[in-house]
Amino acid sequence: MREMNLEQARFNMVEQQVRPWDVLDPRALDVMDRVLREHFVDPKHRNLAYSDLNLPLAHGQVMLSPRQEGRILQAVAPQETEQVLEIGTGSGYLTACLATLARHVTTVDIHPEFHELAGTRLEKEGLRNVTFVDGDAARGWDDGKRYDAIAVTGSLPELHQGFHRALTIGGRLFVIVGDGPIMEALLIIRVAEDQWAVDSLVDTHIPALINAHRTRHFEF
């Protein structure tokens, strides 16, 4: 695919995939138009960079489709003064979008090699406001900090409050909950110290976070 075709593919991604999925926030659309998605995919998938697909990554993980990432960006709406926590670094593309919009991003992944590759990619893009942390965040994340926005990029079979208290007052948490084939994307806002508002956004489906908790159901 020639460079001009990649530009057209990026335009088509925004206008024909992301916007029709009710992603209307100008900042979310603009950042997806500016961050070059082809820089964050495996070279053999370069021609699929702007397709409406979940692209395969190592360890059985996936790069989320553009419309799913657009929904995340719109929901958490990071501002230039804000601190963001990303759970699941993956390809580093969503990390780059968040870092372009926010003051700083802390991104957590259970696979250190994702951080090595994403770090190289972000450095090439001139993005240095990202901290990479190796860890298992399936049951939540508590590093003693509070974040204005938290994006969980793997699903949770069951909603838990492992991320809720890491939010600032007014902070936004995006998480996808349930078992396939249909899962529910939620936006959770911390409205007071011990109070959270929950808004159901859309039905979708993404792979679960590694080690995500499931209640065992016994049959008799």
SS3 190: strand
CATH of the domain at 150: 3.40.50.150
Q: Provide the sign of the torsion angle of the four alpha carbons 99, 91, 30, 174, taken in this order.
A: negative
Residue 107 lies inside a defined structural domain of this protein: yes
Residue 121 lies in a domain: yes
Q: How many domains does the chain have?
A: 1
Residue 216 lies in a domain: no
* 67 assigned to some structural domain: yes
213 in any annotated domain:
no
Question: Residue 181: what pLDDT?
Answer: 87
Tens digit of each residue's pLDDT (9 = 90 or more) over 78-113: 999 999 999 999 999 999 999 999 999 999 999 999
Q: How far apart are CA 32 and CA 9, in angstroms?
A: 12
Q: Cis before residue 181, ω within 30 degrees of 0?
A: yes
Residue-range definition of the domain harbouring residue 196: 3-204
Whether residue 167 lies inside any domain: the answer is yes
d(CA 204, CA 52): 13
Residue 3 has a pLDDT of 52
Residue 220's pLDDT band (cuts 50, 70, 90):
very low
Using N-to-C axis directions, what is the helix angle for 93-101 and 112-124, rounded to 10°? 50
The pTM assigned to this predicted structure is 0.94
